[in-house]
A and B are shown apart, each in its own frame.
Chain A
Amino acid sequence: MKKNETKRFTRRSLIKYTGLLGLGSILGVKLLSCTSSSKPGGKMIKVMTPEGKLMEVNETDMSMAHPHFANIEESRKGIPGRKFVMVVDLAKCKNARECIRACEHHHNLTPDRPFIKVLEIQDNPRSAPYWMPKKCFQCDNPPCVKVCPVGATYKRSDNIVLIDNERCIGCRFCMAACPYSARVFNWGKPKQSQDVTNIKYSPETSTPSKIGTVEKCDFCPDMIRGKKLPHCITACPNGVLYFGDANEDTVTNGEDTVRLSKLLRDKAGYRYLEELGTEPNVYYLPPVDRLFPFKDTKA
């Protein structure tokens, strides 16, 4: 997120629309070539074409369109000059689980292979329970990358850890090594439609999934390249999740754009299991002053 850019988007809906702009342009081409093929059923949603026209498309088509396709070499390098981070405000999480749904939808996942989990945590018997959204922490000292025998999982210059599922041999050493249980495995043939399996694979999209390989949260680099926020960020109705660039010291939850350093300083941000030395790039803000009773948010 460039500073001036993010400042302009003060309203969530605006972010959403501009976010969809790129999609619209891709879909425009796609729909022109096969206008009759849009499937019945599935929610229709509005997108904006480059000409500024609003049009309705099927939601199922949306998930297949990724704003930017990066080939294997490109996806190994990372976006120059960027250091992506995420901040999770535990005080605001009400277990809405919209992030999980958006992620599942975008990555064509089934519920048994979630990239995001919302865990119920109680630090000690006297403290109150809270919800902890957890995804891959994109560590700076990533245990998974260190153990991978073939370099199928790798760390990029922009902080993101990705997996090349065309190289992964399925040894699952990375799963054993990850202290945050961030990784899921395709134990069987992943359930995806023919359209999804036909998509050209890029480690940046993690789509399509492949049998016998490992997967995890990827921070949606395809969206970032298209100058958009990862899906979970925009999906959260409570503004829990912030995403941004540590080099620019800015994070946004889609509604508010704030200074990363100030946010972490003011709200005593911390990283989960700091003592392991994994140097995560996901920060948590403590679950203080919550204005809703925990039990009402239980599913």
Chain B
Amino acid sequence: MLLIPCPWCGPRDEAEFHYGGQAHVAYPQDPAALSDEQWARYLFFRDNPKGVFAERWSHSAGCRRWFNALRDTATNEIHAVYRVGEPKPVTS
């Protein structure tokens, strides 16, 4: 089980959280203007790197707030957590 440091509550067990997939996926500004290919990309395609991944978590059994994390999907190591709206931290 992951130990996830909620930016508000500190480190808690993964079982308290809900996963939200890739972070920083913006809703298209004008969906109707998108081609079918562009709409498909927005709807179905998400990054799937073996390495550092920016993702969303909700502390659903705690403060119930959403936040973002940078986690390495090859090791599960969490490099950073940051609040929604903050830019993605740069990791080395």
Q: Do A and B belong to a common assembly?
A: no
Chain A residues with CB under 8 Å of chain B are none
